């Protein structure tokens, strides 16, 4: 639990009061997303639970596609809510599934985004939820403790394990990860630079997943919006259909075989 300022405590309490209502208005939902403090009852640094700043989540939604979307490590649904908002509140077809291990966050998430299916659980032990058009997430970063692993990735970075899991259940992925795990630098830099590091290369070789850039979102614009941290992050995208093709054993070319 971190120490909240008086102002943060007051608005957090207001958010808690709103959460006692049976049904939240659109304004109520925004207020909760902006003011409910993830650290009020939890040591969020241990669980890597730093919620995405709302305006970064809104930019992130540009890179989501549907209609079937799964939010892995959903918190109170910041990213899923912005995808819902982008769908014009369900006027465009959308189905959202949010998976989060902390039941307190899920309780809040169910009020903020009752339109989603919420699952309290570990993303490394997912039930069969069917296939998704898009997987999204701002997972814990780096060596945050976890009970499971991705199917192929063998390193320490939590974010790569989540993306590895996502690549089996979705066709496309959009994730917030540390800039040092992205194969490029853009946020806070004078220009875009492709710079894949050794850990990324190991991830790519083990999983067949290539991470790509986004449409030009500089995450550093939102650096002040994080609570208790100010991470340098990037929004990465991934074509998981290509990754699955890359993982398939090389097929014998029939014409070559006959010749």
Ligand X SMILES: C[S@@+](CC[C@H](N)C(=O)[O-])C[C@H]1O[C@@H](n2cnc3c(N)ncnc32)[C@H](O)[C@@H]1O
Residue 39 interacts with ligand X (CB under 6 A): yes or no:
no
Q: Helices in 101-170 by DSSP H: which ranges?
A: 103-112, 158-169
Tokens of residue 187, six digits: 């946020």
Least distance in Å: CB of 99 to ligand X?
Answer: 6
Helix axes of 158-169 and 198-207: crossing angle, nearest 10 degrees = 30
Residue 139 interacts with ligand X (CB under 6 A): yes or no:
yes
Residue 146 interacts with ligand X (CB under 6 A): yes or no:
yes
- Minimal CA–CA distance to 36: which of 53, 14, 20, 5? 14
Least distance in Å: CB of 191 to ligand X?
Answer: 27
Residue 163 interacts with ligand X (CB under 6 A): yes or no:
no
Task: Scan residues 51-70 and list those touching ligand X (CB under 6 A).
Answer: 51-52
Q: How many residues bind ligand X (CB under 6 A)?
A: 24
Site for ligand X (CB under 6 A): which residue of 32, 59, 75, 153? 75
Please count the other Cβ atoms lying within 10 Å of the Cβ belonging to residue 9.
13
Least distance in Å: CB of 88 to ligand X?
Answer: 21
Strands 132-137 and 68-72: parallel
> How many Cα atoms are found within 13 Å in the side-chain-facing hemisphere of 4?
19
Tokens of residue 36, six digits: 């409910």
Site for ligand X (CB under 6 A): which residue of 66, 140, 173, 183? 140
Nearest residue to ligand X, using CB?
A: 75
Nearer to ligand X, 18 or 78 (CB): 78
- Contact between 18 and 28 (Cβ < 8 Å): yes
Helix axes of 26-35 and 103-112: crossing angle, nearest 10 degrees = 150
Nearer to ligand X, 128 or 251 (CB): 128
Site for ligand X (CB under 6 A): which residue of 138, 167, 214, 237? 138
Among the listed ranges 23-31, 73-81, 127-135, 200-208, the one in contact with ligand X (CB under 6 A) is 73-81
Cis peptide before 67 (omega within 30 of 0): yes
Judged by the rule CB under 6 A, the positions of this chain that interact with ligand X are: 47-52, 73-75, 78-79, 99-102, 105, 122-124, 137-140, 146
């Amino acid at each position: 639990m971190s120490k909240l300022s008086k102002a943060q405590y007051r608005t957090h309490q207001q958010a808690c009061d709103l959460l006692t209502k049976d049904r939240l208005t659109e304004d109520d939902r925004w207020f909760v997303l902006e003011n409910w403090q993830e650290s009020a009852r939890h040591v969020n640094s241990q669980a890597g639970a730093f919620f995405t700043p709302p305006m970064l989540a809104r930019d992130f939604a540009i890179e989501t596609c549907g209609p079937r979307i799964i939010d892995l490590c959903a918190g109170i649904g910041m990213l899923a809510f912005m995808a819902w908002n982008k769908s014009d509140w369900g006027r465009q077809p959308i189905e959202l599934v949010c998976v989060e291990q902390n039941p307190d966050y899920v309780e809040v998430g169910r009020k903020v985004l009752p339109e989603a299916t919420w699952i309290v659980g570990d993303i490394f032990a997912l039930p069969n939820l069917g296939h998704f058009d898009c997987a999204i997430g701002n997972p814990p970063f780096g060596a945050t403790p976890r009970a499971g692993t991705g199917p192929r990735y063998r390193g320490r970075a939590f974010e790569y394990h989540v993306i590895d899991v996502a690549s089996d259940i979705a066709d496309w992925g959009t994730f917030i990860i540390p800039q040092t795990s992205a194969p490029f630098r853009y946020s806070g830099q004078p220009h875009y630079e492709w710079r894949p590091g050794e850990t990324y290369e190991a991830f790519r070789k083990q999983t067949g997943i290539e991470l790509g850039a986004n449409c030009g979102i500089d995450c550093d614009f939102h650096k002040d919006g994080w609570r208790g941290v100010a991470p340098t992050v990037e929004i990465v995208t991934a074509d998981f259909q290509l990754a699955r093709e890359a993982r398939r054993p090389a097929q014998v070319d029939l014409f070559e075989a006959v010749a």
